[in-house]
Amino acid sequence: MVNQLLYGESFTVLEESGSWSMIRSNHDAYAGWMESAIVHSSPQESYIQDRILTSTCYLDRLNTLLSPGSFIDMKIPESLSCHFPNPELTISEALNLISKNFLNVPYLWGGRTVFGVDCSGLSQLFLRFCGLHIMRDASEQSDMGFTIPFEELKLGDLLFFHNDKYKIIHVAIVFAETQVIHASGKVHLANFDQTGIYIHSNSYTHNFAFAKRLLNTI
């Protein structure tokens, strides 16, 4: 599995081959194959959504538990009106939501739900809660925003980490002055410094490359 679509996310079918369809998600242009049997076409107006769920929600009629970040469609008769609160959270609110719903969730390559999530899926969801849609993979996310000196880090900044070939392979979210929240083994809080993420002072698990800011904190 390379990726997951959350409830209500739309996609475009690029090609079909046997019982499989090559699709591209409309929110981040990520492509992959899915079984054609679960592909359902909709008129364009039905997949334009304005509101996102920012907490785990149970839909009684569907008997379905939706993971944070899912979309829902609502049709309101012209004779009625309703008010929606601003769906965009502050950085602190989004960090609290991420920690409340995802701490100890197991790592799953390509995952984006409370049943399993990977590092870039977690950062993508965090920024969605703040109203920003970003790319899927850590390497793609590292090309976004602007670079921040280590001493100027703020909550919500993204930290990127490289392998021995200096390729970006991991991303974490600044959660506190010396802590990040990230998905590695499971979603957890970890200490970091300018060298990387560490368990003990001489035991580093991820090598720090640079930090990026994608959100306006002013």
Q: What is the DSSP string of 15-48?
A: EEETTEEEEEETTT--EEEEEGGG-----GGGG-
The torsion angle over the Cα atoms of residues 130, 134, 138 and 143, rounded to 10 degrees, is -110
Question: If you average pLDDT over every residue of the chain, what do you get?
Answer: 84
Rounded to two decimals, the pTM is 0.77
Domain boundaries 91-213, CATH class: alpha beta
Q: How far apart are CA 96 and CA 75, in angstroms?
A: 31
Residue where the block lists tokens 């981040």: 28
pLDDT for residue 69: 62
Angle between helices 119-129 and 91-102 (to 10 degrees): 140
Question: What is the amino acid identity at position 184?
Answer: S
pLDDT tens string, the chain, 218 residues long: the values are 788 777 777 788 998 888 898 988 888 888 889 888 888 776 655 444 444 444 444 444 445 555 666 655 556 666 655 555 556 789 999 999 999 999 999 999 999 999 999 999 999 999 999 989 999 999 999 999 999 999 999 999 999 999 999 999 999 999 999 999 999 999 999 999 999 999 876 789 999 999 999 997 54
Structural domain spans, the chain = 91-213
pLDDT for residue 125: 94
Question: What is the amino acid identity at position 117?
Answer: V
